[in-house]
Amino acid sequence: MTDTPAADLSAAFDRLEALIDFPVDFPLKVMGRRTDGFAQAIAELVCSHAPGFDPATIELRPSSQGTWLSLTVVVPIESRAQLEGLYRDIARHPMVRIVL
């Protein structure tokens, strides 16, 4: 059993790494409030971790009430370290509520 959320996340990446052959196009679902600049901020963050990422490929889906926005980004990932760094940075972003 792990004692901290960081250790839990690291253990999750350990399990994920055993299932993935890198390089891989990895899908991430990012959710946040539907505000100006949300999709642009996430696109810039993803591009900083994966220079080959094309922001035009982001799929946007607003919630039925229009309050939330779900982004699907498929990112070219070369290694576990790259994926883990990207995931952690997205999860820490102040506009992000959930990353799957």
Residues forming beta bridges with residue 62, ordered by sequence position:
69
| Domain-located, residue 2 | no
Alpha carbon distance 75, 54 (integer Å): 9
Number of domains in the chain: 1
pLDDT tens per residue, range 12-48: 777 877 778 889 999 999 999 999 999 999 999 999 9
pLDDT confidence of residue 17: 74
Q: Provide the residue range defining the domain that includes 32.
A: 23-99
pLDDT confidence of residue 68: 98
pLDDT confidence of residue 66: 95
- pLDDT(2) > 70: no
Q: To which residue do tokens 């799929």 refer?
A: 59
CB 77 within 8 A of CB 26: yes
78: domain CATH number is 3.30.70.260
12: DSSP letter: H
